């Protein structure tokens, strides 16, 4: 990994740790979970070079979060179990339904309501660094497997 990627990853992990500590001390986990969900979905789009991606693997501990966000945004989606432990599949009905949720995530960032800053997955490039994206997704997965 390039030095810029390592710096971005280090900053991201430090920011998540602060957010986790804050959520643990206050008991208010919703902002953290919504932010993690936002990153998990958006990074999968960048990994596939497809912002209209409709199917996502999500950590099981974010099940309630995606269902709640979809309900508030009136987005239609289906949830499926997988043969992978602690993972489920979310499939949006179409790109308009997916867009309702992505716009909510974008607005959350614009309004400064994220639990931690957006990860720098571009590290100065035009396209997202896929190796860094894979590692960030794994960091988020491990965060939930340890809980």
pLDDT beyond 60 at 146: no
Total structural domains within the chain: 1
Q: Give 121-138 pLDDT, tens digit per residue.
A: 988 888 889 999 999 999
In which domain, by residue range, is 71 found? 3-145
pLDDT recorded at residue 5 = 78
24-33, 73-82, 106-115, 138-147 — which is least confidently predicted? 138-147
**Given pLDDT bands bounded at 50, 70 and 90, which one contains residue 2?**
confident
Contact 59, 76 (CB under 8 A): no
Q: What is the mean pLDDT of residues 32-42?
A: 94
How many Cβ atoms sit within 10 Å of the Cβ of residue 82? 12
Question: Could you tell me which residues come within 8 angstroms of residue 90 by beta carbon, excluding any fewer than 6 positions away?
Answer: 41, 55, 56, 58, 66, 77, 78, 79, 80
pLDDT beyond 90 at 14: yes
SS3 content of the chain, % helix, strand, coil (to 5): 60, 10, 30
The angle that helices 30-47 and 63-72 make with each other, rounded to 10 degrees, is: 90
Q: Give 48-104 pLDDT, tens digit per residue.
A: 988 889 999 999 999 999 999 999 999 999 999 888 888 999 999 999 999 999 999
How do 55-59 and 77-81 pair as beta strands?
unpaired
pLDDT recorded at residue 35 = 95
């Amino acid at each position: 990994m390039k030095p810029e990627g390592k710096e971005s990853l280090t900053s991201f992990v430090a920011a998540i740790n602060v957010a986790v500590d804050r959520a643990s001390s206050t008991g208010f986990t919703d902002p953290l979970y919504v932010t993690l969900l936002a990153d998990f979905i958006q990074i999968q789009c960048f990994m596939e070079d497809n912002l209209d991606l409709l199917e996502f693997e999500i950590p099981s501990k974010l099940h309630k979060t995606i269902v709640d966000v979809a309900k508030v945004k009136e987005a239609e989606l289906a949830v499926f179990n997988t043969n992978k432990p602690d993972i489920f599949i979310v499939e949006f009905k179409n790109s308009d339904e997916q867009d309702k949720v992505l716009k909510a995530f974008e607005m959350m960032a614009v309004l400064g309501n994220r639990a931690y800053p957006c990860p720098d997955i571009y590290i100065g490039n035009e396209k997202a660094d896929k190796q860094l994206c894979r590692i960030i997704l794994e960091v988020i997965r491990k965060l939930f497997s340890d809980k």
